[in-house]
Amino acid sequence: MTVTETETTTGTGADTCAGPPQGDRRPDGADKYTISEVVALTGLTAHTLRWYERIGLMPHIDRSHTGQRRYSNRDLDWLALVGKLRLTGMPVADMVRYAELVREGDHTYTERFELLMQTREDVLSRIAELQGTLAVLDRKIGFYADAGRALASERAR
C-alpha cells in the first residue's frame, strides 16, 4: 500500500488507487456534498451509502448542523475504491475488514497487502476462467459463421 491510502483516511490527500475523479467535483475545502449529490455522482443509492456507513465500510461522514450527511472528495475517492473492490468480487466482510485496517493505521500494511494479494489471485483465477469461456464462445461463433457461409453457398447454387 502507498502513503496515499493513509492520506485518504486522514484527509491529507487523494487515494490514487481509486481512479480518476468522477463527475463535477468541487475543490477541496468546498467539497461538502449531500447524499443526493453523492447518489448522482456515484450511481449508488442513498440506501447503499447509509448501509456502507452502518457496516463500517465508510469512514466517519461529517454532518451538517442539522444532522445531514456531508460527503467530501475524500469520501468520493473511497467510494470509487470500494466500487473497484466490489468489481473484484471481494466479499463485503473483507471490504469492511480492509476499511478497518486502513483506519487502524500504517502498522496494518502487511495485513492489507495480504488481503489485496489474495483478492488479486482470485481475480487472476477468474480472468483465466473467463478466458477459457471466451475461447469456447469463439469456437462456437466460428463454427456458426462457417456453417452460415456453407449454407449461403449451397443456396446460391
Give the residues across from 62 on adjacent strands.
70
The tens place of each residue's pLDDT in the chain, 157 residues long, gives: 344 444 444 443 434 444 445 557 887 777 899 999 999 999 999 999 999 999 999 988 999 999 999 999 999 999 999 999 999 999 999 999 999 999 999 999 999 999 999 999 999 999 999 999 999 999 999 999 998 888 888 888 7
- The overall pTM is greater than 0.85: no
Which residues have a Cβ under 8 Å from the Cβ of 110 and sit 6 or more positions away? none
Q: Smallest Cα–Cα separation from 22: which of 68, 73, 87, 64?
A: 73
Q: Smallest Cα–Cα separation from 28: which of 41, 11, 43, 49?
A: 11
User: How far, CA to CA in Å, does 31 sit from each of 15, 108, 124?
Assistant: 16, 29, 36
* DSSP 8-state assignment for residue 93: H
Question: Which three three-digit cell numbers place residue 156?
Answer: 446460391
